Amino acid sequence: MERILNWGLLSTAKINRALIKPLNASKRTRLLAVASRNISSAEAYAREWKIPRAHGSYEALLNDPEIDVIYNSLPNHLHAEWTIKALRAGKHVLCEKPFAVSLKEVDAMIAASKETGKVLAEAFMYRHHEQTIKVKEIVDSGELGTLQLIKGAFSFKLEREGNYRWMTEMGGGSIWDVGCYPISYARTIVGAEPVDVFGWQVTGEGGSDEVFVGQMRFKNDIHMQFDSSFRCPHRSYLEIVGSKGVLKISNPFKPGKTNTVQLIQEDKEKTINIRGGELYMGEVDDMCDAVLQGKSPRVSLADSRNNTAVILALLESAKSGKLVIV
């Protein structure tokens, strides 16, 4: 029998709702506690979601000796600080995407994980889903021929007034929030890092990008183009183009239980049906495998570092108007 891992939610963030169901469903996890900056909001949240313990500060959660794993769902500018504190308090950490907003922070997070021997992984839930795994298999099988182009988008109308996503100093911006998905997906499909990138951005009052349009060039003449936005209606798609075929993924980043992707070869279109599990169960299971069985997390720390480096290079390009070598 494997040990049951006690999890604690670091904040009452909206995204927690996605984790609560798998944490309650898994036989290897118990959602034991939630922390908030304010005890009354922690208590109300704990009552609402039937979480046994409420802590009135983040420190109190890290000092709770029964907690094994922390789910860091804080705004992006706090990921590094609280992940490092949690690791040093002896906890394993599943940290929300984007991992952090500078390479200095990412390197400090990786160093803290190495020093403490505690597992650290970025919560890129789509990476664990059956659809993503199948898409990668199709591309790697050579069915599309030689990889040529990837195009993708992730946009939505951000209507949360005062939210950290609007503010540069809190790690806001559409590229950090949703552009990180097509960037990560393309890097995963190509299985390499881009050589150079170019980006354009439209910034808002908070200083962060509200629209980002980017390009990445990989070796062997593989190109990727994407956009992310807080100003456009919800769009989410990816198209992978090879010399012999095209794969169209209509729901790449938040796939569900039933999914279809279109494979187009010589004007013939085939629908591939892919059954998937609960989207957020993958990252919970992956974390349990890493902590309980010593497996390496699917999203490696090097991968998270490289995704951050590419986003920073794209932002630098958008500011300078120049091509940036990654």
Ligand X SMILES: NC(=O)c1ccc[n+]([C@@H]2O[C@H](COP(=O)([O-])OP(=O)(O)OC[C@H]3O[C@@H](n4cnc5c(N)ncnc54)[C@H](OP(=O)(O)O)[C@@H]3O)[C@@H](O)[C@H]2O)c1
Using CB under 6 A, which residues numbered 88 to 107 contact ligand X? 96-97
Please identify, using beta-carbon distances, which residue of 138 and 183 lies nearer to ligand X: 183
Asked if 47 is part of the footprint of ligand X (rule: CB under 6 A), the reply reads no
- Closest by CA to 124, choosing from 72, 180, 170, is 180
Please identify, using beta-carbon distances, which residue of 160 and 275 lies nearer to ligand X: 160
The secondary structure of 55-80 as a DSSP string is ESSHHHHHT-TT--EEEE-S-GGGHH
- What character string, x for contact with ligand X (CB under 6 A) and - otherwise, covers 164-193? x------------x----------------
Whether the CB-CB separation of 257 and 277 falls below 8 Å is answered with yes
Sole window of 14-22, 63-71, 265-273, 314-322 interacting with ligand X (rule: CB under 6 A)? 14-22
H, E, C per residue of 144-188: CCCEEEEEEEEECCCCCCCCHHHEHHHCCCHHHHHHHHHHHHHHH
Asked if 222 is part of the footprint of ligand X (rule: CB under 6 A), the reply reads no
d(CA 65, CA 88): 13
Burial class (CB in 10 A: 0-12, 13-18, 19+), 271: exposed
Burial class (CB in 10 A: 0-12, 13-18, 19+), 272: middle
Shortest distance in whole angstroms from residue 42 CB to ligand X: 7
Please identify which residue in 6, 12, 83, 259 interacts with ligand X, judged by CB under 6 A: 12
Nearest-5° Cα angle at 161, 158 to 164: 80
Nearest-5° Cα angle at 17, 233 to 92: 115
d(CA 123, CA 58): 19
Sole window of 11-19, 83-91, 103-111, 306-314 interacting with ligand X (rule: CB under 6 A)? 11-19
Please identify, using beta-carbon distances, which residue of 38 and 243 lies nearer to ligand X: 38
Q: Which two tokens stand for residue 282?
A: 């993958």
Please identify, using beta-carbon distances, which residue of 125 and 241 lies nearer to ligand X: 125
Shortest distance in whole angstroms from residue 193 CB to ligand X: 22
The site that binds ligand X (CB under 6 A) totals a number of residues, namely: 21
- What character string, x for contact with ligand X (CB under 6 A) and - otherwise, covers 54-83? -------------------xxxx-x-----
Shortest distance in whole angstroms from residue 64 CB to ligand X: 16
Using CB under 6 A, which residues numbered 148 to 167 contact ligand X? 163-164
Q: Which residues bind ligand X (CB under 6 A)?
A: 11-15, 18, 36-37, 41, 73-76, 78, 96-97, 123, 125, 163-164, 177
